[in-house]
């Protein structure tokens, strides 16, 4: 497996959706490739931070304004 191929399957790796054969190829590559291990660590941390962003509670006023906007005449052609 090349570095490019490894990077292309990292999301599937973190979601545990790789086939057993692909998983073995990736893990073998990661054992031998320090740059890809570093990239994986950065990718994991980025995913963790992104997940935390989604957990931020939207302030009630912003929620109300968004709801009002979305219930308005979006794309109305009249």
* pLDDT-based confidence at residue 51 (cuts at 50, 70, 90): confident
Sorted by where each begins, the domain ranges of the chain are 3-56
Section 4-14 average pLDDT:
95
| pTM for this predicted structure | 0.64
Decide if pLDDT at 75 tops 60: no
Percent of the chain with pLDDT over 90: 68
The DSSP string of 17-65 is -S-HHHHHHHHHHHHH-HHHHHHHHHHHHHHHHHHHHTTSPPPHHHHHH
């Amino acid at each position: 497996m090349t570095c490019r191929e490894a990077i292309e399957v990292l999301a599937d790796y973190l979601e545990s959706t790789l086939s057993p054969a692909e998983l073995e190829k990736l893990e073998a590559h990661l054992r031998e490739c320090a740059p890809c291990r570093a990239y994986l660590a950065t990718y994991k941390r980025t995913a963790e931070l992104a997940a935390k962003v989604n957990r931020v509670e939207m302030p009630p006023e912003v929620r109300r304004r968004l709801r009002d906007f979305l219930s308005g005449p979006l794309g109305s052609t009249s």
